[in-house]
Amino acid sequence: MAYLGLASFLLWSASSDVLAGRDALISLASVDPLSADLDQLELQLVEAGRPVASGSSKLRSPLLWPLRPVPVVGRQVAVARAIATVADDVVAQTTAVVGEAAELQRAPETERVAVLRRLETGLATLNETLADPDLGPRNNLFGVLATARGDAEVQLGDLRDQARDAEIVVTGLRSFLERSSYLTMAANINEMQVGAGTPLSIGTMELENGDFTVESFVTLEDVDVPSGLPSVDADVATLWGFLAPTNDFKKLMLSPRFDAFGGPQSLVLYEAVADRSLGGSLVLDPVALKAMLTVVGPVEVEGETFDADNVLRYIFVDQYDEFLTGDEVDLSNLSTLSEGQLARRDRLAGIAAATVDALANGEFDPLALIEAFRPVARGRHVLAYSSVPEEQAMWEALGVAGVMDGNEVGVSLLNIGVNKLDPFVDVDVEVTEGPGATSGTRSIELAVTISNDAPPTLPTGVTGYYWETIGMPTPASYLGRLMILAPSGTTSLMLDDPDRPIEVFGKDGPLAVLVTRLEPIPEGTSVTIRAHIELEAGAMTAYELFPSGRYIPVDYTWNGASFNDAVFADIPLDD
């Protein structure tokens, strides 16, 4: 009797510890490592690990060995011991990983690669533990233990997904910092293309053992790209061949698939220009520069200070007042820039270069940079491509690779008006979506309203000097192309107005795209374009809203629900 009493007490005590282990797993799975205080989290994990280790130790006690052969009781002991053992291992390994991540925040740039290697090893060990955890049999368990086992299984699955993504990011970051070379393009979202701004200047960035070397940015007017370069993507060549996008950095964003066209094609262009190959390509727009400035602090360019509070206002408006009066612009020649225009673009290149240089040579927290970039990345304000598999996997995991999976739907407005009006043009889309005419099909009706809200106080450099040259009715008229992107199962994509011209139509990777050229939209007016999509839904359960990358996001009303395209978002199919 004394033995049974002691064994019962030990089981009860160990069960409490098992529940603590379950709770520890739940708390681990809910932690966001990028926003957490890692030093504090490490202490919390140490505290959480104590009851878990205690329970594991109790369940290995020789006092419980005689109970193992007992059919029902032995099963409970085995499962409790399995949960406690897995929880003990996972908490201990996660604590070690968090400790290394905290060390990464403090490490000088010359030591970051070494810390990342240790972090990579720790995550590999954790992922091995999480790959196939043995929680014991799931049948014929007492209620509390059955619940604990079920909860542990779910939380281990969530933690496994997080740890796998973390290992991908850490491995890629280690490769990136250890030795890499990237083309860096500064894009202007005053002139939009498909889901990104137009590149206007380029530079290079070399990394070796955490040390950055940044080459000064140059404006694309100073870059002579040879003609006749091959396209890395057949779809883009077919759709946009009339614009020769394979020979122009400014046209690399005509496809939403940066991983398939914009990134690799930019490296082809650069190699043709500089007679040297690079391993990767980055695109940063002013919103991304603002995010970087929140981490690295203010930078100084030609006596002016730029920080996260003033950089967007300067890029969108103030720079045009500073450099351009309009008197020096040759209105008969769109391809030749005035001294003021060149000076303005040099200043933009200088801001981009100074920001990247501050990142390269300053002390900053790499995890804080990733955290600052997270919402920016989800809105396509930074895009990245690498020919190195580990680095490309990192960019994809971070959501900045520009990969299209085929479920995307959305609109993009492309500026062709030789002006900088995009921040002052609103796009609103009303969507009616539901089952199609036949079983298994879906129907999407879109009404896209484009409103030119340019105020009369804008500098001429923003509204455009060439409005009469290109036949615009008023100085601040907006001229553009509207692209409609539809999912991979699309069987019909058409405009309601059969007389409206279609410039581009076909497949861009997994997506169907249609582009129509708009008539000029004078300031204070709007136009509405209606389109219809029919598709075979197949196994698709949700659409993915494609971010336009605009400073002012596109507003959607989707079957009565309102949201915008600031970031990628899943939209469930409506029954």
Q: What does the alpha-carbon distance between residue 574 and residue 570 come to, in Å, rounded to a whole number?
A: 12
Cα–Cα dist 12/73, whole Å: 12
Axis-axis angle for helices 143-178, 112-131 (nearest 10): 150
| Residues 550, 422 contacting (CB under 8 angstroms) | yes
Helix (H, G, I), strand (E, B) or coil at 285: coil
Looking at this protein, which amino acid is placed at residue 174? R
Token pair belonging to 431:
């969507």
Beta pairing class for 408-415 and 542-545: parallel
Q: Which residues contact 271 (CB under 8 A, 6 or more apart)?
A: 277, 278
Instruction: Provide the whole-model pTM.
Output: 0.83
Closest CA to 18 of 147, 159, 139, 106: 147
Residue 557 per-residue DSSP state = E
Residue type, 461: G
* DSSP 8-state code for residue 553: P
List Cα–Cα distances, 323 to 27, 217, 331, 418, 469, in angstroms.
55, 19, 17, 17, 22
Q: Give the position of tokens 């996972």.
A: 90
The pLDDT profile of the chain, 575 residues, written as one tens digit per residue, is: 433 333 343 344 445 555 555 565 556 555 555 455 555 544 554 555 455 445 445 444 454 444 444 444 556 667 677 777 787 788 888 888 888 888 887 888 788 899 999 999 999 998 898 888 887 776 766 566 677 777 778 878 888 888 898 899 999 999 998 999 999 998 988 889 999 999 988 989 898 888 878 777 788 888 889 888 999 999 999 999 999 888 999 999 999 999 999 999 999 999 999 999 999 999 999 898 888 888 888 988 888 899 999 988 888 878 777 665 555 555 444 455 556 566 666 677 778 778 877 877 766 676 677 777 777 888 999 999 999 999 999 999 988 999 999 999 999 999 999 888 999 999 999 999 998 888 888 999 999 999 999 998 888 878 877 788 888 899 899 999 999 999 999 999 999 999 999 999 999 999 999 999 999 999 999 999 999 999 998 768 899 999 999 989 999 999 999 999 998 889 988 76
* CA dihedral over 395, 401, 403, 408, signed as positive or negative: positive
pLDDT at 64: 41
Using CA atoms, how far apart are residues 183 and 497, in angstroms rounded to an integer?
42
The alpha carbon torsion through 36, 40, 43, 48 (nearest 10 deg) reads -50
For residue 409, give the DSSP letter: E
pLDDT of res. 163: 87
Element (H, E) at 336: none
